[in-house]
Amino acid sequence: MVLSLMRKLTIFFLAAILTQKLSAPTQRTAVTFEEVSPATSKISWTHDNAHSPDRQLPETVGAGCAFFDYDNDGWMDIYFVNSGPSDFFVPPKPLKNALYRNNRNGTFTDVTDKAGVAGGKFGMGVAAADYDGDGNVDLYVTNYGTNILYRNNGDGTFTDVTEKAGVAAPGWSTCATWFDYDNDGKLDLFVSSFVFYDKSQNPLCTDETLKRRYYCVPRLFKPQPSRLFRNRGDGTFQDVSRESGIAEHPGKSFGAVATDVNNDGLMDLFVANDTMPNFLFLNKGAGKFEEIGLSAGVAYGETGRPRSGMGVDAADFDGDGWQDLFVANIDHEFFSLYRNEKELIFTDQPGEIAPSTQLLSGWGLKFFDYDNDGDPDLFLVNGHPDDMIESRIPRVKYREPLLMFENTGRTLKDVSANSGTVFSKMFSGRGMAIGDFDNDGDLDVLTSNNGEPPLLLRNQGGNRNNWIGLHLVATKSNSAAVGAVITWQSGTVKRTRLKTGGGSYLSSHDPREILGVGAATTIDSVEIRWPSGKVDKLTKLPLNKYVRVVEGAGAITN
Amino acid sequence: MLNSRKSVRQAQVAICFLCILCLFEATLVAQDRDLVQRFEQVATLIRDNRFAEAEKELTPVLRVSPDLPVALNLLGTIRAKQGRLNEAEVLFLRAVRNDKSFAGARMNLVYLYLLKRTPGKSILQLKEVLALKPENTEAAEKLAELLLSQGRFDECIAFIEKQKLARSVPVSLLVVLGDAYLAKKTLPQAEENYLLALEGRLENAGALLGLAQISRLKNETREASIYLNRVASLAADSKSPEFLHKFALEALRVGMSEEAKSVLERALELRPKEPSYLLALGIAWLRKGDLFEAEKLFRQLIEIQPGNAQGQLHLGYVLLNQKKYSEARMWLEKSARPGVAIPEVFYYLGLVAQEQNDDARAIVLFEKAVQKLPSYAHARIALGSSYMKLKNYTRARQELEMAVKLDPDEPTAHYNLALLYARLKDPARAQEQMRIIEKLKAKGASTGGVVVLPPGSSPR
């Protein structure tokens, strides 16, 4: 009798353990984002958008921000981009970009002047990466005007090497994306171009009833081809825009993400255009790209009308092994969630995102695992580009709310209402970067707001689930490991993530990868397939820690 | 339906008035001055809704003269106002049986039958009244109106034309005659009578509305708008919600959504919660592109009339456009009555299935829409799109090419064809389709959305 009961209990407990292994149940308490006030963070910098009665278009689209570790201390520092002098704007007081060093205690110190990264141009975006492979993360800052490449000297200072590197890219650049298009182990650079614009190109756009000038729609301006720079590996770049096929397609690009849409190991580019069809540049190898946006079904809205693409990202959100794409558009156009149907075909199925964003205009956005349950969730930063929109369309606001969508398997569910009080506030949101600034194992969010102070959001509770953080150190592959495929297994739950390049809007992210395992208490294996083709399989890894993984050498616990 | 409801409401008012009218008839019948005074007193009491006292006054009279027509008519009026319609009918019928020339009692029967929703019987009584008193304008107008509302256009036309030959007819009859000709699509005669009603002055809103309709039918949209603008200024003070509604529907047809919206808002102030007005106002908001306001109104409509199929269809449509697919599907399925579902319902439900990644089901639904309406270009586009998703490129091409033939100015058809050609590795033809879209855009073709408006909601 007792034995029989014992057997039953054993079976019961075994079943329970098996069930736990199979489904890796996750903590259900809501993860929230908490505002870190400027008084706490000591970040006092504010974006100045050069707002003027002339409503010059560059005023309303900036600017970006970045999480990156400029001093290699293992803590994410912060960079902000600001406006500055241009042909239409003379700042009444000096404006500068800002570099804030992470003090490792929740506060930051402004080290801009010492570092020498103040910019001094009409800034747009930023992309951080170690382009020269010296172990120090460099900065590429895009501008309305010419861009700046800041080489990190490794001693807390930077040197402007733009001219030598040959990446000035005059005109109006928006987002920049570091990735290795030719798999030669060196980081190349894609630079999005927006429209052809100068002071004299600002047509009079007025509302008959208001008799005031408003920002003109980009439809009125001529498109410009974006640029692709090949990294020669000697500190200089070759402009390969023409021979790669990129220059054949003038656009009005705001956002770009490097990803691999057909799993061929070559990084493709998805480029969001405003009032023009989006581009999907398929990497054909041998340095060539083919634009396949139309046939892929990602170029236009459902009536064949181009939309106002702004922020963009890529991830395998449904876990089918294929990269899906996301583009934020302007109000009433609906945002697009393009599910990868394989064979280079996508279907726009935004699900719950559509009704939530019907009246919003989206910029910064990122797929990331905010609750460490292993799947990518989605954070959206919104704001209307026209500061007078409410007088014309009362239901649409200039300042708009942030949105958080949780991945529930094959769909994304709007959980904003349960994700913190900050989601009930309104912002003129633009850039957005993700990073674990407090190194607690969950991803925090940094947003930049047009003409307003930035917003630092601390993830509260994402680390209730277990995780492992990877700092990928390439030896043969490109230094950012863009294109690496990470597979991790915990019990029977196996997840895969492609390390994409860029994404969001004008911004740059913490390069580390946090792999969530839910409530599972062990992680059985992590496999990294590097862009070079090398595969590292790691076992017996510690949970809830960051580890350095060196290509070909395995993991080294920090 | 609308006209008969309008007539019922008028009937409720008219019965009250007719009891007073009867007094004058009573003077002809009653010999006794006291009796006349007593009937006057009863009429006053009825008017003040003091029915018990009125009946008390009548009882001694009816005890002495139980078949006295005037007394029977007054008691019938009391019963009608008490909602005891069958008893009222018996009393009115006794009155006219005892005095066949008693026009007042017959008119009460006219309104009573309207209340009982038997307009055919009202028409018979009106004919009796007019046989007795051919010059009775009220009866003539009522008869013409009723014949028109019952779709008896030929009879209506014959009756008014005969009246025109016999005597000078009021302007209102000319407008009804114009409406009858218009209903029969006999535009020249309709126009002639409306113009006659206007007598050179643009002051009769009904006639102007008729002329606007004629202009629209002749595709003279600008003229229609001019007439409607004039009606709008005349209708500014209108206290008739029916007229405002009629005007709004016409304004919607010529794309004057703003005007339609404002008169419908007034119509709803005059008659709150009237389902047909809520529907029309929702449509006006839809046409202005405000899905949120439209949604509110369709929800109100459904709250008042949960089974209103038009309300359900429109709510489903609005939700579909907001990409709220699950709820859209629920309302659309509710709106589909067995055996009478319109092609649009199948089309919308197909779009929901398509969005929910169920293209096999979407195809079944689109096929049903196309079976019901083979010229339904949007359903064919959607069908082509679903076939394309299922990689049945041959069928996709057939449907999309057919859609382009049916509606060459629809950009969505060209876009899907471009997508198909691109997937078939025929970039030249794909670009050709995209160029057509550019040309259509330059021409100002609508690229507002894939989801076409429900029938009756879109401008012609």
Integer Cα distance of A88 and A200 in angstroms = 9
Query: How far away is chain B from the Cα of A354, in angstroms, using its nearest Cα?
Result: 6
Which range is most confident: A15-19, A429-433, B166-170?
A429-433
pLDDT at B420: 95
Residues B205/B243, Cβ–Cβ less than 8 Å: yes
| Beta-carbon contacts of residue B235 (< 8 Å; ≥ 6 apart) | B205, B243, B244, B247, B263
Which residue, A471, A496, A501, A507, is CA-closest to A483?
Answer: A501
Say which amino acid occupies A182: D
Burial environment of residue A558 by CB neighbours within 10 A (0 to 12, 13 to 18, 19 or more): exposed
Antiparallel, parallel or unpaired: β A336-340 and A346-348: antiparallel
What's residue B169's pLDDT? 86
Please determine, for residue A135, whether its predicted confidence score (pLDDT) is greater than 60: yes
Name the token pair of B50. 């003091």
d(CA A457, CA A36): 6
Give the contacts of A4 (CB within 8 A, at least 6 positions apart). Answer: none
User: What's the whole-number mean pLDDT along residues A509-522?
Assistant: 96
- Pick the closest to residue B238 from B209, B278, B195, B276 (CA basis): B209
Q: What is the pLDDT of residues A324-377, one digit of tens each?
A: 999 999 999 999 999 999 989 999 999 999 999 999 999 999 999 999 999 999
Nearest-Cα distance to chain B for A302, in Å, is 7
* B412 contact residues in A (CB cutoff 8 A): 302-304
Checking if the pLDDT of B108 tops 90, the result is yes
B403 — phi, psi (to 5°)?
A: -60, -40
B3 pLDDT tier (thresholds 50, 70, 90) = very low
Give the C-alpha separation, A555 to A543, whole Å: 13
B316-358 pLDDT tens trace: 999 999 999 999 999 999 998 777 778 899 999 999 999 888 9
pLDDT at residue B20 is higher than 70: no
Write down the pLDDT at residue A225. Answer: 96
Out of B355, B430, B437, closest to residue A349 by CB = B355
- A303 in B contact zone (CB under 8 Å): yes
Q: Give the model's pLDDT for residue A308.
A: 94
Please, which pLDDT band fits residue A323 given cuts at 50, 70 and 90?
Answer: very high
Give me the residues paired with residue A128 across strands.
A139
C-alpha B166 chain-centroid distance = 32
pLDDT at B173: 92
Structure tokens, B260: 């339609």
Long-range contacts of the stretch A317-322 (C-beta < 8 A, 24+): A317/A367, A317/A375, A317/A376, A317/A378, A317/A407, A317/A412, A318/A409, A318/A410, A319/A375, A319/A409, A319/A495, A319/A496, A321/A263, A321/A496, A322/A261, A322/A263
| Mean pLDDT, residues A499-504 | 97
Peptide bond into A63 cis (omega under 30): yes
Euclidean distance between CA atoms A472 and A474, whole angstroms: 6
Write the Ramachandran bin of A554: left for phi over 0, alpha for psi from -120 to 50, otherwise beta. Answer: left
The sign one gets for the Cα dihedral B268, B272, B274, B278 is positive
**8 A C-beta contact, residue B109 and residue B89:** yes
The pLDDT value recorded for residue B455 is 57
Q: How confident is residue B16, by pLDDT bands cut at 50, 70 and 90?
A: very low
For A12-41, write each residue's pLDDT tens digit.
Answer: 333 333 333 334 444 467 999 999 999 999
pLDDT, average across residues A154-164: 97
Which pair of structure tokens corresponds to residue A336? 């697009």
Name the residue facing A294 among B411, B418, B448 (closest C-beta).
B418
Q: Is the distance from CB of A426 to CB of A401 less than 8 angstroms?
A: yes
Q: What is the pLDDT of residue A15?
A: 35
List % helix, strand, coil for chain A (3-state, nearest 5): 15, 35, 50
Q: Which residues, listed in sequence order, are joined to residue A148 by a DSSP beta bridge? A: A141
Task: Give the relative orientation of helices B241-253 and B2-29 as an angle to the nearest 10 degrees.
Answer: 150
> Which regions of B173-299 does DSSP assign to beta strands (E)?
none
Distances (CA, A) of A43 to A3, A71, A101, A455, B274: 66, 18, 10, 10, 59
Q: Which residues, including other chains, have CB under 8 Å from residue B352's CB and lie 6 or more apart?
A: B320, B325, B328, B329, B332
SS (H, E, C) A296-322: HCCCCCCCCCCCECCCEEEECCCCCCC
pLDDT band at B204 (very low <50, low <70, confident <90, very high): confident
Residue A47 is inside which H or E element, if any? none
DSSP reduced 3-state for B276: helix
Length of chain B: 460
Q: Are A441 and A469 in contact (CB under 8 A)?
A: yes
- A304–B447 CB contact, under 8 Å: yes
Q: Which residue is closest to A346 within chain B, CA to CA?
A: B389
Q: What is the pLDDT of residue A1?
A: 39
Q: Which residues contact B124 (CB under 8 A, 6 or more apart)?
A: none
Does A545 contact chain B (CB < 8 Å)? no
Here the tokens at position B11 are 């009937």
Query: Which residues face A324 on adjacent strands?
Result: A315
Max mean pLDDT among A99-103, B11-15, B345-349 falls in: A99-103
Probe site for chain B from A280, A290, A295, A345 (most B CB atoms < 10 A): A295
pLDDT value of position B424: 93
pLDDT reported for residue B32: 65
What average pLDDT does the structure give for chain B?
86
- Taking the C-alpha atoms of residue B62 and residue A375, their distance in angstroms, rounded to an integer, is 89
The pLDDT of residue B456: 55
* pLDDT value for A17: 34
Q: How far apart are CA A248 and CA A292, in angstroms?
A: 13
Q: Specify the 3-state DSSP secondary structure of B2.
A: helix
Q: With a cut of 50, say whether residue A454 has pLDDT above it.
A: yes
Q: Dump pLDDT digits (tens) for A70-79.
A: 999 999 999 9
State the helix-helix crossing angle for B275-287 and B309-321, rounded to 10 degrees: 20
Angle between helices B205-217 and B221-235 (to 10 degrees): 160
- Residue A409: which region, alpha, beta or left (left: phi > 0; alpha: psi -120 to 50)? left
Placement of tokens 């009026």 in the chain: B77
Q: Where are the alpha helices (DSSP H) in B48-118?
A: 51-64, 69-81, 85-98, 103-115
Please check whether residue B45 is in contact with residue B51, taking contact to mean a CB–CB distance below 8 angstroms.
yes
Which alpha helices (DSSP H) does B375-450 contain, by range? 377-389, 393-406, 411-423, 427-442
More reliable by pLDDT, B262 or A167? A167
Say whether A294 and B389 touch across the interface (CB within 8 A): no
What pLDDT does A298 receive?
A: 97
Whether the pLDDT of residue A281 is over 50: the answer is: yes
Q: Do B411 and A305 touch (CB under 8 A)?
A: yes
SS3 A238: strand
> Would you call A193 exposed, middle or buried from its count of C-beta atoms within 10 A (0-12, 13-18, 19+)?
buried
Hey, are the CB atoms on A355 and B322 less than 8 Å from each other?
yes
Structure tokens belonging to residue A301? 């809205």
Label residue B382 by pLDDT band (50, 70, 90): very high
| pLDDT score at B27 | 43
Chain A residues inside the 8 Å CB shell of B357? 347, 349
Nearest CA in chain A to B411: A303
Q: What number of residues does chain A have?
A: 558
Residue A27 Cα, gap to closest chain B Cα (Å): 28
What φ, ψ does residue B121 adopt, rounded to 5°? Answer: -70, -35
Q: CB neighbours of B30 closer than 8 A, spacing ≥ 6?
A: B36, B39, B70
Chosen from B326, B423, B431 to mutate, greatest number of chain A CBs within 10 A: B423
pTM (2 d.p.) = 0.82
Report d(CA B347, CA B327) in Å as an integer.
16
Show residues of chain B in contact with A303, CB under 8 Å. Answer: 411-412, 415, 447-450
State pLDDT tens for residues A41-83: 999 999 999 999 889 999 999 899 999 999 999 999 999 999 9
Chosen for mutation from A294, A353, A396, A397 (greatest number of chain B CBs closer than 10 Å) is A294
Radius of gyration from C-alpha coordinates of chain B = 29
DSSP E strands, A341-443: 346-348, 362-368, 377-382, 403-407, 412-414, 429-435
Residue B101, pLDDT score: 86
Interface contact A334-B323, CB threshold 8 A: yes
